[in-house]
């Protein structure tokens, strides 16, 4: 069963609806859109082994696509939430409804569940880890469980969440990224609705507000192979690429226009491809990526039996 054309989102993104209490999309129709179920262009053989797509609705699931973008498996998650994959291809899935994070063993797509843990600090919306089985997992909580401002939980599968990072610039936390040296960033909005990026050295301490960050709203963060931060500006439908942000940012590229509004995107392990969960059309838009430009290639229309809501997308293995 294929997805149909969907409604355009109002300023309350459906991908975070279950977490933030937003409403469903309106019924405003979108215009025609060319898509490809079997894309003519394929990534190079050294690219990611596959792609995960998280979908919401009555058929909520995580769908697994192989290198040729053909669906080959699914995980019956039963909930909606953000997803990511580490460099070994282990899948991380967040559930804001139950405040849990589940890890599935890779590198094969839709591998068995490895373990899970509860997040005692808030509602998980985004996740980042370089070694999900044994290392640190940074969890972006859009809000605290009691409705207090969002935060970043510092966790492991074995030990659960042992620290909670907060900052006055963080009210709604949309994205989180964890670098190879252990530094992490939270992409958020403050209490006035202004975009903010907060830098936490070694993913600890009080954090510092990044300067030179020009995004208008929150969104997902990825780190490319050069160490650049690839950030989505959700409502403007663009991405910006920065270097540094520790705490001073230097703009490398952007804004680069996406096909539609997206909150979350994903880089493949070689940082040659970028895929975004398009909440305007409920499709996955795939691009060629470089820090100085992106090129749209095709859109993937997931078939899941769920309602037309995408919650996240993750190349596996991740960047």
Rg from Cα positions in the chain: 17
CA angle, 277 then 178 then 248, to 5°: 100
What is the C-alpha separation between 89 and 106, in angstroms, rounded? Answer: 5
Kindly report, residue by residue over 124-180, the tens digit of the pLDDT: 999 999 999 999 999 999 998 788 899 999 999 999 999 999 999 999 999 999 999
What is the C-alpha separation between 125 and 233, in angstroms, rounded? Answer: 16
Which of 318, 117, 120, 116 has the alpha carbon at shortest distance from 223? 318
If you ran DSSP here, which 8-state letter would residue 166 be given? -
What does each C-alpha distance from 280 to 181, 223, 233, 245, 275 come to in angstroms?
Answer: 36, 25, 14, 30, 14
Flag whether pLDDT at 106 surpasses 70: yes
Provide CB contacts within 8 A for 166, sequence distance 6+.
149, 151, 206, 207
- Quick one: average pLDDT of 99-103? 96
Name the band, by pLDDT with cuts 50, 70 and 90, for residue 265.
very high
Q: In what order do the strands lie in the sheet with 221-223?
A: 221-223, 229-233, 238-244, 249-257
Name the band, by pLDDT with cuts 50, 70 and 90, for residue 308.
low
Kindly report, residue by residue over 186-202, the tens digit of the pLDDT: 999 999 999 999 999 99
Asked if 54 and 66 count as a contact pair (C-beta separation under 8 A), the reply is no
Name the band, by pLDDT with cuts 50, 70 and 90, for residue 2.
very low
Instruction: Quote the mean pLDDT of the chain.
Output: 85
Flag whether pLDDT at 223 surpasses 60: yes
What is the C-alpha separation between 100 and 77, in angstroms, rounded? Answer: 12
- Residue 247's Cα: distance from chain center in Å? 22
pLDDT at site 302: 84
pLDDT at site 147: 81
- Quick one: average pLDDT of 94-118? 94
pLDDT at site 311: 85
How close are the terminal C-alpha atoms of the chain, in Å?
Answer: 31
- Quick one: average pLDDT of 97-126? 95
Asked if 277 and 3 count as a contact pair (C-beta separation under 8 A), the reply is no
Kindly report, residue by residue over 68-90, the tens digit of the pLDDT: 999 999 998 877 789 999 999 99
pTM: 0.86
pLDDT at site 314: 97
List for the chain the helix, strand, coil content (%; round to 5): 5, 50, 50
Kindly report, residue by residue over 5-61, the tens digit of the pLDDT: 233 333 334 445 434 444 333 322 232 233 333 333 333 333 448 999 999 877 789
pLDDT at site 80: 72
Provide CB contacts within 8 A for 251, sequence distance 6+.
212, 214, 240, 241, 242
- 176 compared with 282, residue with greater pLDDT: 176
Which of 127, 115, 162, 165 has the alpha carbon at shortest distance from 144? 165
What is the C-alpha separation between 310 and 264, in angstroms, rounded? Answer: 10
pLDDT at site 304: 52
If you ran DSSP here, which 8-state letter would residue 89 be given? -
Asked if 2 and 283 count as a contact pair (C-beta separation under 8 A), the reply is no
Backbone phi, psi, residue 100, to 5°:
-130, 160
Delineate the domains of the chain, giving CATH numbers in brackets. 72-316 (2.120.10.30)
- Which of 6-10, 287-291, 309-313 holds the top average pLDDT? 287-291
């Amino acid at each position: 069963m294929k997805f149909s054309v969907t409604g355009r989102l109002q300023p309350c993104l459906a991908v975070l609806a279950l977490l933030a209490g937003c409403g469903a999309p309106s019924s405003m129709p979108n215009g025609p859109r060319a898509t490809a179920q079997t894309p003519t262009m394929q990534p190079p053989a050294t690219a990611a082994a596959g792609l995960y797509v998280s979908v919401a609705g009555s058929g909520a699931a995580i769908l697994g696509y192989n290198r040729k973008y053909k669906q080959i498996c699914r995980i019956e998650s039963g909930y909606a939430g953000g997803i990511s994959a580490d460099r070994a291809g282990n899948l991380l899935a967040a559930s804001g409804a139950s405040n849990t994070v589940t890890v599935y063993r890779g590198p094969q797509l839709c591998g068995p569940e490895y373990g899970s843990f509860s997040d005692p600090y808030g509602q998980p919306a985004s996740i980042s880890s370089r070694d999900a089985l044994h290392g640190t997992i940074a969890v972006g909580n859009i809000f605290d469980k009691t409705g207090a401002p969002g935060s970043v939980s510092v966790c492991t599968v074995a030990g659960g969440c042992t620290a909670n990072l907060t900052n006055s610039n963080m009210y709604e936390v949309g994205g989180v990224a964890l670098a190879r040296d252990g530094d992490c960033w939270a992409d958020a909005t403050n209490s006035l609705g202004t975009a903010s990026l907060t830098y936490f050295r070694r993913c600890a301490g009080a954090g510092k507000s990044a300067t030179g960050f020009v995004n208008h709203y929150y969104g997902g963060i990825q780190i490319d192979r050069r160490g650049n931060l690839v950030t989505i500006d959700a409502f403007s439908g663009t991405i910006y690429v920065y270097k540094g942000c520790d705490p001073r940012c230097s703009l490398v590229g952007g804004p680069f226009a996406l096909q539609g509004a997206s909150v979350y995107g994903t880089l493949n392990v070689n940082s040659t491809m970028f895929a975004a969960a398009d909440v305007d059309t409920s499709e996955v838009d795939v691009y060629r990526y470089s820090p100085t430009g992106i090129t749209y290639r095709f859109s993937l229309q997931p078939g899941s039996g769920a309602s037309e809501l995408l919650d996240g997308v993750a190349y596996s293995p991740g960047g």
